[in-house]
Every structure is written in structure tokens, then in C-alpha cells.
Chains A and B, each alone.
Chain A
Amino acid sequence: MNWHRFFHRRRSDAELQEEIRTYLEEETAENVARGMSIQEARRQARVKLGNPQRVREELWKQNTVATIDNLWRDLRYATRTLGRTPGFAAIAILVMALGIGANVALFTVVRSVLFNPLPFPAPNQLIALYGKSGTDNRGTVAAADFYDWQNGSHSFEQMAIWRWTGYNMAGDRNELPEFLQAVTCSWNLFSTLGAQPALGRSFVSTDDTDEASPTVILSWSFFKRRFNADSSIVGKTIRLNSQTYTVVGVFPQSFTYPDPKIQLWVPYHEGVPKVILHSHYSHTSHVIARLSPGVSLSRATQEVSAIQHGIFTRFGGDGPVTPAVVSLPLVQDIVGDAKAPLYILMAAVFCLLLIACLNLSNLLIARAVARRKEMAMRLALGGSRMRLIGQQITESVLICLSGGLLGIVLAAAAVRWLTMYWLDLPRADAIHIDATVLAFAVGITFLAGILSGVLPAMLFTGARVSAALQDSARTLGVSASKASLRKNLLTVEVALTVVLLVGAGLLFKSFLQLGAVDLGCATRNVLTMRYFLRGDSYSKPEQIVSFQTQLLERVRHSPGVAAAGLTDVVPGDGLYGDTTFSIPEHPPQPPEKRDGAVFRTADPGYFQAMQIPLVKGRFFTSSERLNNSNFVIINQKLAREYFPNEDPLGKHLAVSWRSPSPENYEIVGVVGDTRYLLNEPVRSMMWFPILSGIPGATADTALVVRSTTDPATLGIPIQKTIAGIDPDLPVSNVLTMQQVIGKSTANSSFEASLLGAFATLSLLLAAVGLFGVLSYLVAQRTGEIGIRIALGAQREQVLRLMLVDGLRPALIGLALGLVASAAVTRQIQSLLYGTRPLDPTVFGLVSLVLLVVAGAACVIPAWRASRLDPMRALRIE
């Protein structure tokens, strides 16, 4: 009702005027009837009515909702003010949009990835269990350990095990053969997580036994892509590794555990070799579990750890058994390493927004100064302070509101971009803008508006403001205190900018360091591709060796190929596997002191193809194959560490590589160190002959080809060569070595460039702020400078005076920023590579850049001041 009245005030007023007119006429008529003259009658009527304006005002007020009315007026006023300076308004809105947009985007990602519960029922009860030995807190679990845990523990509703695997799928209907990333898991993985199939059924315990016929569950994306979402596939069979598997179910799109790239799930007994299934030594799998209600994480972990300790004691000294168990909530396990960069970026964008707010605040102060007399006058006339503050805040809220709207649009785009280009971002499929995010956006918008508006508003409506009324037009340097406030704001702004610049600088230096790391092998003109020799056609060593040698022969004779070799994993592509070993010639070591080495396979030509130098001894020979293959090549690191004062050649390593119990391998050569990952230190490494042809152990192959020209052009011909030998064999990861390295530097470059962009933006804002404040100061002090010059001050003196005035906040801000950076950079240590958090180069460069930019921003207004014509300056005002 109020509202109705409020919005119909105008009509109501018009009617009232009409009524008043009627009244006057009636009254006049009556007075005339009483015998008055027409003039007197009219006069009397007017006297009787009183002031019609008051009546109108009365009604108008009665119809008005005061707050809305004020707000409306403030809004109109603010719009007009902004409209008068469209350039300022556009820039302010754009800056706010960037700040708010970046915050909303990062908030969306952080919330979805770190804080949203996993898409499973009662996700808080889900945990991941890992082996703990030495400093390794994320040791994968041996299958036999898992079965002991499962049988011996009482803290869990369910416990499940899984490991990464992959299958070759031949094209039955002329499709290309493809390699499918898959998971082999205990039957209860799905029920542990609480996931239900979209079609068919989940695994049951009878699927996960030695005798069960092979079954498979499809992911939704694979089901859609390869089978056109035809639900009749359930119950039918597909061929994986040339073996027949019955499709029992399809899981919905929402289920992507452990990774959206997974296409298939296969029962654990089906997917894992018997040797590994009953081994306490082969640590290959991940374990997840659902806690029983009321059981705490620590109690459950203690229980499992006790079981594991029992196993450790039972096998003590006989092989690599994990001594203890650690656990963590499943969500943390999934989020993993993404946490640190996410938090850092979130902090960075928040800094950016803060800087944007400070800048806006600064600009608004400048504007408020111009209106201080008006404000003082209104206060003196009894205007309420709240009203005046409200009016000033409206302007900044209006800017922020427009910025916020634009920012949400930007954020939507940014979120899309982030999820697309941020490789390895976990839970990327769960990221989306929802109501909470929008609420956050609205909240942060108003916060920004109030933050940037409140300071100027408070300042210019304060009690002392009436002093402004006393200022005469000739008073010089009146608003020194206002200017110093602006300088303080600038100082904070500069300090924040420095922190961002230092952070970005450190990350960028890490990225450069990573790029400069020597992998230990050829990285130019090298093409790699992977394939997996599995299934019936590769169940005997002879079949594998025959394929490999045939392929090598053909590739080596292809045009453009300088050298070719085979391994299982190329340098820089990951750890893949390590195992413990012992040296029969040395006294036995206690199990906890045994160290592991990364294991790799190689053919005789691999090292030359990759230009990995031979330090000592020889490479494998072509006769060292099949059963005559108990030889091993070690890297320098292993030689230095385990054979410090002796010749490793002719000694042996006892390793359980292709068999559950250790076998002796004779060391025939020592080669140069290579890195398994660019940003990890070199580890001990041992190489076994790939031509031993052991199914399983040597089936995973990476073909490397060093070319004489652009390696990428060799991709298609070599794939055709492979198809010429086995048309059903899928080839994956056709990458040049540069691309392999690029994968491991991608995240680091991504983080560095994002933070770099934020830092650049804030530097720009700080520069604009400096320029604005100094220009303002010059304008303020025009008269004073005029007097100085008139009294004989040199231009250089004036220039220096103004420069110092402008640079002081920059210098103080720089000092504060450096101190703050020193305190903060330790937090990003985990993201740094080969760079110390207090890297002097970075700190020095940042200081230099800041000084140059600040100097450039100050020099124009300062120069302008020194060029002032004293006569004109004094005549101003």
C-alpha cells in the first residue's frame, strides 16, 4: 500500500491541486453569496485555506517512503556525476569488473574443488589409506596388504582397492584401435563410494574372483562416444586386449572416480596379475575406505597400521614391506597438490581487488575534496551525517555494482577458461557458477563499494569539516591532511603491488629454472609414442620380442630417422615405478635402510637414440634377450651412492622385477643420469633389457625416434608402420620430447603467467594512482609553486620537490611490500623450483621495476609543475 502510494505521488498531487482549486472556488462563491465583493471573497477564501503549498507538501510527505526516496535521489545524483566524467566512470567500472570477476572466478574454482563435498553419500566418512615408510607419506599399497587389512579390521563399513591400468581395444567394426585408460578395482569400489549404476548393475563379489568370467563397467563418456549411448550394450561383450569382456553396467556421467579420463572399470582379480595379487612387495594400488559410523579417522588408522606392522614383522628382513599406514580424508586425497596454487591465486586476486578499491577510494577522495564546501554547508544547515555519507557511498556502490555485473560475466568466461587450460585441476568437472557463487559476487561487490566509498565519505563529513567553510579562496595548502591520507592509501597500494610482483617473479623464475633443467638426454628432434603389448597375441616372450625387433628394424630404415630405441617410460614423463634392491656382494642391510631405485627397460639402441652417455661398461647387446637377459644397466647416481669406492661392473643387483622373489642381475654398464620428472631431483635408476620380452614387465613400450628433421612429421608414417605389423595395436601419446617436457612445465607456466597478469594489472593501477595523486597535489599547490618560482626557486628545485613528494609513498610502500613479501613468500615455497623464497634477483628486479614505473608516473606532473608560469599560477582562483 505504501508502495502504491509512493509510486503514485505525482498523480495524487495533481488531484490535490484540483481539489484545492475547487475548494477555493466554492469558498469564494459562498463568500460572494454572503455579500462580499469578488476580490474580498477570493481573499477570504485564500486566508481560510492557508498556504496551499504546505497542504501539498504535507500530502507528498505522507505518501513518501523516506529511505527509498533518498536512495533514489542519491542514485540519480551519482549517475549524473559519473555521466559527467564518462572516462573516469568507464575505467573505474572496468577495473572493478576485473577485480570482482577474478575474485568470483577463483572463488568458484576454490569452492568447487576444495570445499564442495564429494558427490557421494556421507562423503565425510570416505578416506584414503597409504603406506608410510621413511619420508614417503603417499606410498601405494600392496594387494596382499590390502586383503589383510580388509579381513582384520573392524573400523570400516567397506574398504576397496584400485590401480591404474589400460586396455587396447581393437576396432570390431573398422574403428581405429584405441588405448583406453582404465581402473582395475575390487568389486566393492562403487558401493564403498555409494555410487549407483545408470544402466545394468555394479560389480558383485563373484565378479572379482580368479574363476569369474571377465566383466567390465563402462564410463558414461565412453558409452556415449563409442557405443552411441545404445543401452543394448549392457549384457553384450566387447574385446579388450583381444579378450572378451561382458559389459555388466554403465555408470552415470557424474561418476568419474578416480579421474574423468577413466573409460572402464575392470574387477581387480581380472586386471591384476596373480603375482601381484598375492604380493606384499608390489606396491601398486590405492586403497579407499568408508569409516563405520562413530569411528574416528585416527582410531581406524591405528587399527590398520597395527595390522600392517604385524605384516612388517612377519616379513621382516625378507623384502620391501611397508612399515606403517597413514590416512587422509578422500577429498584431500583427490584435491592433492592443487590446494597451494589455488589458495595463492585466491589471495592474489583478493589483493588485486583491494588495490582496485584503494584506487577508487583515492579517486573519490579527489572528487570529494572538490565538494568539501558543499558538504560543510549542508552539515552546517543541519543535513544529517548519515545522509551525506550515504550519498557519497552511493557513487562508489554504483561503480562497484556496474563493475560487479560486468565482473560476473567475466567470471563466467574465466571459469570456463580456467577449467579448460588448467591441466590436472582435480574435480574440474564439478566446477560451475551457482547461487552461492552469485551471492558471493553480490557480497563482494557491496563490500568493495562500501570499502572504497566509506573512507572519503567519513572524511568529508567529519566534525572538523566546518573548517572548510572558513577557508578563503586564497588559502594555500589547505587540504594537506587529505593529501596525506591519499598518500597513505597509495603506500598500501604500492606495498600490495610489490607483494604480488614478488610472488609472480618467484614463480616466473621457477618456470625459467624448470625450462633450463637438463633432462640428461636429447630433447630436440625426438618423437615418442606409447603402446602396450597385451592380450593373446603377446602372451609369450617370443611374440613380444618378435614384434619389437621387427618394428625397430622397419623404423630405423624409414626416411628421416636418425636413430630409434625402445623403453617403457621416457625421461621427464613420470616416475611410474620404483622398487627396492639389494647387492649380493655387499653385507645385507636392514629392511628400513634399503633404498629403492626407479626401474626402466631399454633395448640395446635406446641410450644412443636418446643420446644418454655411456659412462662405463657397455650397453645391452642384441644377444641379451629372452632367457639370456639377467643383465642390468645403472645410472651414475646409483653407482655413486651404492658403489662409492668400487667398480660396479660385474657386481649384481638382486631385484624382484619379473618374479615375486628377487633374482640377480649382473651390472654391465653405467649411464648418465636422467630425470624422471623435470622438477624432481635425479634418483637412482636401473635399466632392464626390454628384449627379455617378459609379458607384463616389458609390455609397456615407448618408442623413441630421433629424426634428422622436424620430428612431428614422422608421427603418421611410424604409426602406419606399426599398423602394418599389428593393425589392432593402438598407439597413444604421440608426442615430441619438447611436448613431454611441456606437460611438466605447463602448470608452472600457467601459475606464473596468471599471477604475473594480476601483478601487472596492480602495477598499472598503482601507477595510475601515483599519477593521479601527484597531479592533484600539483593542482592544489599551483599557487604555492607560483609563489616559490616568483620568489626565485629554480625549476629543478620545484621538479625535485614534487618528485620527492610523489615518490615518498612509493618508496615507503616498496619497503613495506618487500618486508611483507619476505614474510609471505615462504607460503609459496611448495610451488617454487630452484628458487629460494627470498631470491635476491627477484626482489631486486621487482624494486627496480616498481621504481621505474613510479618514477614515470610522477615525472609528468612534477615536470608540469616546474614549467608553471608564476604569473598565471598566481592569478588562478
Chain B
Amino acid sequence: MNKALSNRLKKLLFIITIIGPGLITVNAGNDAGGITTYASVGASYGYKMLWGLLVITFSLAVIQEMNARMAVVTGKGLSDLIREKFGVKLTFFAMTILLIANIGVVLGDFAGIAASLELFNISKYISIPVVSIMIWLLVTKGSYKKVEKIFLLFTFLFFSYIVSAFIIKPNWGIVFKAMITPTIEINTGFLLTFIGLIGTTITPYMQFYLQSSIVDKKLSISDYKYEKLDVYLGAFWGDAVSFFIIVCTAATLYKAGITINSAEEAAMALGPIAGQSAFILFGAGLFGASVLAAAVIPLSTAYAICEAFGWESGVDCDFKDAPAFFGIYTGIIVIGAVFILIPGISLIKLILVTQRIAGILSPVILTFMIILINDKNIMGKYVNNKTQNIISWFTVIFIIALSIILFISPLFSHF
């Protein structure tokens, strides 16, 4: 009797250990790029892009489920699979795309670190060198895991957007109507912002990071149902926070005609909950999320690239044993940090631009993924079903179409 109970308890604990990490991953995914992009979406275009967020939430759920399925069925990381199926040349191409997109995102996160600390009157010329050396040391000296949770706690401050949204009391009827009414404006500003919205939600690095963290969990196919729940919950919960950020900024900044050019302005949407100290809430949240991402993304990039080319990797190795691994990791941080130190650069603009680059590049990695997951030699009976294929291909084509319209629309704007 007692044994049956303890068994059930064991099972429950087991499910929690599976589900937890996915939720945390998505929460951490709302980094500087995410927060700033969502805030600027709401501030510049009100509720107009909420339908887009709804659509890509489904895309995100389907894509992350694909990563989870590949991880559990093959037990291999995404770059392993790309290398084994596509050979050296295409792998090189995929890794170059990943590297560019990730350098962009890291740049955005270092900009987030600088912007958040500027709210507390700390100059970027002090904050960036200090924080980037701190991150480098924490990760390479192996104590990162211990402090990770602290930065993660910071990101929970963004939940105040949810409270804020209810205090503001927007017209929910209009909000929900906007969610189901697709609107699109054919002008560069709208398209760029929309691509940024996609880019920050379906970031290329997330696919690699998620897949390898699920591989590390060493799940069997029989536990897959819990993992599926994990990624679906993660996708919807993560985007729920994004939804409230857009609602908050739309109901305050958009109404007042303020577009976001600085972190102070972005913080104003938290005014209803925190009043004058809104900037502390926003600054601390932005700082935590940025540090988290600035540590994780260079690391995950270095792992992915080394895995693809069969180079030695791991933070436990010496620089001598794994020069490529430490080279890539250090290189990305240095590039990110140095770029931010350029005098007079607009931090918010930099964050937004990097998310757009990630958005434009995301179809490349997605295409590799869709081809892989439909390969019966790799996935056996666990290949995509029709619905999954339609949604994932639709996502790819949709982003490509947006990018094409973006590049040709200036040509027609005179008519």
C-alpha cells in the first residue's frame, strides 16, 4: 500500500523534472531582444500585430515539438543530424547562418545589459567590460550553473506586465478582435517590425538549444508524452507573457503616441503597477534576462558548431584540448561587447535590428529541420504528420514571403 503511494509520488516527481526545464527555457528565451521587440510592437502598432503573435505561437509550438521529437527519437543534437544528413558543405552553410544570427542576438543582449544598467546611471563603458568578463569567467570556470537561477529569478519580474495589463484595464473586446483580424501594412516599418516579432519568437538558436537540452535529459520514447506537454506548455506560456507586454505598451505608449527609443520609454508601460519606480522593475528584469541569454547563447553556439564539425567541446576541457570551442565562445562575447562600446550607438535600435536579422535567417534552419524530420531513415515512424508539415512549411514560406515583400516594397512605394 505504502509502496504504491511512493511509486505514484516517484512518477509525479519524474514528470515535474521533465516539464520544468522546458518552461524555464522559454522564460529565459524572453531576453532583451524579446522584451524590447514586443514592447516596440505594442508601442508603434498597438494591437495590430496580436494576430501575428497568435499565429506564430502555433508555429513555435509545432517547431519546438519537432525538436523535442528529434531529440527523443534520435538522441542527437540538431547540428549532429544536419551534419550526418547534409554533409560538410551544407553544414558549413547552416553553421554560418547560425553564427551570424547568434552573434546578432548576443549583440542585442549586450545592448540589453548596457541599456538596463544605464537606467541606474551606470555608463556602458563600465558595465559592459565588467559584465562580459564576469560572464566569461562564470561559464568557463564552471560556477555558472550555480548563479543561473539568480538571473532566472530576475526574469520573473516581467510577470509584472501581466498584473500591469489588468490594472490598465484595456478594452479586452478590441484586444481579442485584433487577435483574430489579420492586418498587414505594406510599408518597411511595419514589415520590419513584424519580421522582428517572428525572429525573436522563433529564434534559430532556440532550436539548437532546446534539442540538445532535451537530449541531455536522456528520455525514452515512452516518456515522450510528458516532454510534448512540456514544449507545448512552454510555447504558450512564453507567448502569453509576450502578449501581455504588447497589450501593456499598446494601451499606454501607443495611446500616448510614444514609440520606443530608449529603455526609459519601454519601462513606462510598467508605470501602472510600479509608478515612479517602474524603471527599477524593468531594468532589473531586462538585466537578468540579458545576462542569462548573453551567457547561454555563445555557449550553445560553440557547442552546436563543434558538434557539427567533430571538434572537442565542453567547459570541462582545457583551452588546449578544445581551442575551437573556447575560441568561438570567447569570440562571440568579445564581438558582442566591443560593438556596444562604439560611441553614440543606439542600443534600442541595435536590439531591434538584430532580432530582424534573426527573423530573416530563421527559415534556413527551419528548412533543414523539416527535411530532417521527414526522413524515414532518421525518424522511422515518428516523421511529421500532414498538419505538422503544413504548419511548419507555412511558417517558412510566410517568413520568406514577408522578407521578399520587405525588399521589393520600396520599389513600389512611389506608385
The answer to whether A and B interact is no
* Interface positions of A (Cβ within 8 A of B): none
